[in-house]
Amino acid sequence: MHGIMFIKTSSLGDVVHHMPAVTDAHRRWPEARLTWVVEEAFAPLARLHPAISEVIAVSTRRWRSQLLSAEMWSEVSAFKTKLKSIKAEKVIDTQGLIRSALIARTATGERHGYEAASIREPMAAWFYDVKHEVARDQHAVTRNRLLTGLSLGYVPDAAIDYGLVKPPRGNDAPYAVLFHGTSRASKEWREVDWIGTGKWLREQGLDVVLPWGNERERLRCERLAAAIPGSRILDRQPLDATAKVIANAALVVGVDTGLLHLAAAYAVPLIAVFLATDPGLTGPVGNGSITVVGGKDLYPSFERVIEAAEKLPLKR
């Protein structure tokens, strides 16, 4: 096997969920050159995996808003040329969407993907040379690993390895990261619960770090920081820099959001607060201490999170 191209473009959580499949492929074919096609916003994350030789950034989200721009069409042309220049033996689309399947169709190599009944957009299967059946009721990490194994001729073992190397820790005092921002209002936890959790963490000797990704989340950060003495708002920064902050945390508490999965990937102790989605399909999985509270249509109080945190060997 001389070359393998992965297509997993977005979103943040999906990109992290694909990393164990990359680790599996590298172990099975250590001499193969691994390329990853991913949305430009998540390219810094894909580059964190040491087995990836090259990351090709695609900009479909930005391009959709610039359809009348000559510069955009020039970028599209350059992207297609780059894709075709990679002589991969296997092209594996673990995204399973029409847009990702079209990218696979443009690439050079034998194109593998899910068969029609295994994905949300069945028409995507039209663009693959080889189609594989993978049950839809399995966790996203498992689906990615199974599809990759079927495409490359092996069966993944039980152990999950994201392949990430934890960066050196600085001289910061021990801290907890609170991921309060998420893509849907139905997945948000009340501010009073974040405040109760943050105050308890400060009593345990942990600093509290509050990240944000948009203006609405920044304003929430300001309200939380005002109510949690000694907490600090994390500057907005590239995802690889945020990953370093996550990797060295003593604890992560978060709602259903992509950054939560980075904590699982780095085996950081974490407590996941689920409110509107099924953690069995997209919840955090990894080799660290993971506690899920709540669930679809279940609302846990901050006392439940504190109860879970009291059982963890937190580094203070």
Per-residue model confidence as pLDDT tens digits over 107-130? 999 999 999 999 999 999 999 999
C-beta of residue 250 within 8 angstroms of C-beta of residue 174? yes
Domains in the chain: boundaries:
3-152, 175-309
What pLDDT, on the 0 to 100 scale, is given for residue 200? 97
How far is the CA of 236 from the CAs of 93, 240, 277, 316, in angstroms? 31, 12, 27, 26
Cβ atoms within 10 Å, residue 150: 19
pTM of the model: 0.94
What pLDDT, on the 0 to 100 scale, is given for residue 162? 98
What pLDDT, on the 0 to 100 scale, is given for residue 219? 97
In terms of CATH, what superfamily is 3-152?
Glycogen Phosphorylase B; (3.40.50.2000)
What pLDDT, on the 0 to 100 scale, is given for residue 315? 65
Residues of the chain under the 50 pLDDT cut: none
- DSSP for 50-119, written as a single string: TTEEEEEEE-HHHHTT-TT-HHHHHHHHHHHHHHHH-EEEEEEE-S-SHHHHHHHHHSEEEEEEE-GGGS
As a whole number of angstroms, the distance between CA 49 and CA 37 comes to 13
As a whole number of angstroms, the distance between CA 176 and CA 253 comes to 8
What pLDDT, on the 0 to 100 scale, is given for residue 170? 76
As a whole number of angstroms, the distance between CA 140 and CA 286 comes to 13
As a whole number of angstroms, the distance between CA 295 and CA 9 comes to 27
CATH class of 175-309: alpha beta
What pLDDT, on the 0 to 100 scale, is given for residue 9? 97
* 242-301 per-position pLDDT tens digit: 999 999 999 999 999 999 999 999 999 999 999 988 888 889 999 999 999 998 888 999
According to DSSP, residue 159 is labeled -
Same fold, 3-152 and 175-309: yes
Task: Give the gyration radius of the chain's Cα atoms.
Answer: 20
According to DSSP, residue 258 is labeled H
What pLDDT, on the 0 to 100 scale, is given for residue 169? 81
Cβ atoms within 10 Å, residue 166: 14
